[in-house]
Amino acid sequence: MSFSSLLTSLNRPPLVLATGLALAGGLPALPVGSLSLGLLQVSNLLAFGVNVAAVSAPGRLDGDQDEQMRQGTLNPSNNSKPDSTPLQSSHDVDDTAAAKAAKLRLRSLVLPAGWAFSIWGAIYLGEATFSVAQLSDGSGLTSTLPAVTPGFVAANLVQSLWCASFRESYNEGWKKFVSVAMLGGTAYSLSTIMPTVMSLQSSAVSWYFVPLVMHFGWTTAATLVNLNGSVAMDAPVKDSTLVALGHGSAVLATGLGIGLAALGIAPPAYGMTIAWALLAVGNNTKANKESDTLNNGAMVMKTLCFVGSAACAAVSAYCML
């Protein structure tokens, strides 16, 4: 059996879910103080490499088809099936079912504008810099690694599992919530790094952690986006339920963006990232849904997102003073 075939055979929802939860719940709690510095450094570098490789594999729902959905130009009759990849399940995906699921996702009120995803470039470039810099004693990062490595490694590995689960083969039943759990696990893993970041005295060292804080903020928002999209794919779910979930997500994101920054739980970059996400959702929210309930809810959603974005940005800016 080839390595590619092995990965494909292992991409099963129960296994992916169990592994992700174990990594997110277990790794950040591991006492690694007795491990050698070299092992911690290599672990960080390898975990980041695995994440980059997983993200680079085609076939996720946020590929070309998802981009069309965010722009409102999805053509359900264009049923192109993504190429098979090592991270994709071996089960064939029915094109008609995939197009139907994609259309149902459009009912969600939490659909960020395409430009919002450019933040990944800054996050990955920054984390690549962190992964290389932590190999050098001169970076000032080595003393932080015992506290940072478990969460950083867990976040990268769990996000790799998100790449495996955010695919058409996971669109049915409970399986579509596996990707939600993986994003939530990624955000949780990164949250365990925040106490160390908040305790840093050197601004030169603190700058290395800005991308990790942004990653924490963005995966927080992405978890809510993914949750709303997954619920929307259930055809029996009422439009009023989607409206309530969307509005609740905007309020929750605003509360987290303001609260974590104001209480000193996370740096201001967290609140700024939430502000970016809310702005993107508000910018992309239009009254172009298939029901009056969704259209009316969309207009309220736009206001909630714009107000929430401004509030998060204002509080975060104040915390920088």
Q: Give residue-wise pLDDT tens across range 195-246.
A: 999 999 999 999 999 999 999 999 999 999 999 999 999 989 999 999 999 9
Of 102, 83, 100, the C-alpha closest to 92 is 83
Q: Look at residue 311 in the predicted model and tell me its pLDDT.
A: 99
Last residue of a domain, one of 166, 196, 212: 212
**Would residue 243 count as lying in a domain?**
yes
Last residue of a domain, one of 195, 212, 229: 212
Structural domain tally of the chain? Answer: 2
First to last CA, the chain: 58
Q: Are residues 11 and 119 in the same domain?
A: yes
Q: Look at residue 62 in the predicted model and tell me its pLDDT.
A: 80
Last residue of a domain, one of 212, 229, 251: 212
- Paired strand residues for 167: 60
**Would residue 96 count as lying in a domain?**
no
Domain holding 139, by residue range, is: 1-67+112-212
- Paired strand residues for 60: 167
User: How would residue 61 be classed by pLDDT, with cut points 50, 70 and 90?
Assistant: confident
Q: Are residues 5 and 52 in the same domain?
A: yes
Q: Are residues 129 and 190 in the same domain?
A: yes
Alpha helices in the chain (DSSP H): 3-10, 13-26, 37-56, 64-71, 95-105, 119-133, 145-165, 178-191, 194-199, 203-232, 239-262, 268-284, 292-320
Q: Are residues 195 and 255 in the same domain?
A: no
Q: Are residues 142 and 202 in the same domain?
A: yes
User: How would residue 95 be classed by pLDDT, with cut points 50, 70 and 90?
Assistant: low
- Residue 14 in contact with residue 164, Cβ under 8 Å? no
- Paired strand residues for 23: none
**Would residue 171 count as lying in a domain?**
yes
The distance of Cα 310 from the centroid of its chain, to the nearest Å, equals: 22
Work out the average pLDDT over 126-147: 97
